[in-house]
Amino acid sequence: MNIKTAEFVSPMHPDKICDRIADALLDEYLARDPKSRVAVEVMGGHGQISISGEVTSSAEFDVDEVVRKIVGDGFKINKYFSKQSEYIAQGVDSGGAGDQGIMCGYAVREADNFMPLEYELARGLCQKVYAKYPFDGKTQVTVENGRPKVVVVSFQNSKTEELLRLVKSLIVADEYLINPAGEWSVGGFDADSGLSGRKIVVDNYGPEYAVGGGSFSGKDYTKVDRSGAYMARKIAVDYLKKHDARFVAVRLAYAIGKREPVMAVAEVDGREVIISGYDLSPRGIREILRLDKVIWSETSSWGHFGRRFAWG
**Could you read off the pLDDT of 251-302 as tens digits, one per residue?**
999 999 899 999 999 999 999 998 999 999 999 999 999 999 999 999 999 9
Could you give the CA distance from residue 155 to residue 138 in angstroms, rounded to a whole number? 6
- Look up the pTM and report it: 0.96
- CATH: 3.30.450.40, 3.40.50.960, 3.30.300.10, 2.170.190.11. Which one for 101-111+204-299? 3.30.300.10
Residue ranges of domains in the chain: 3-9+116-188, 15-85, 101-111+204-299
Residue 185: strand pairing partners: none
Q: What is the topology classification, in CATH, of domain 3-9+116-188?
A: GMP Synthetase; Chain A, domain 3 (3.30.300)
Which strands form 37-45's sheet, in the order they lie side by side? 76-82, 48-56, 37-45, 194-195
Q: Do 15-85 and 101-111+204-299 come out as alike in CATH topology?
A: yes
pLDDT over 90 (residue 86): no
**pLDDT (mean) for 118-143:** 98
Residue 74: how many other CB atoms lie within 10 Å? 8
Max Cα–Cα distance, the chain, nearest Å: 59
Task: Give the pLDDT confidence of 36-51 residue by residue, as tens digits.
Answer: 999 999 999 999 999 9
Domain 15-85 has CATH 3.40.50.300: no
Could you give the CA distance from residue 211 to residue 215 in angstroms, rounded to a whole number? 9
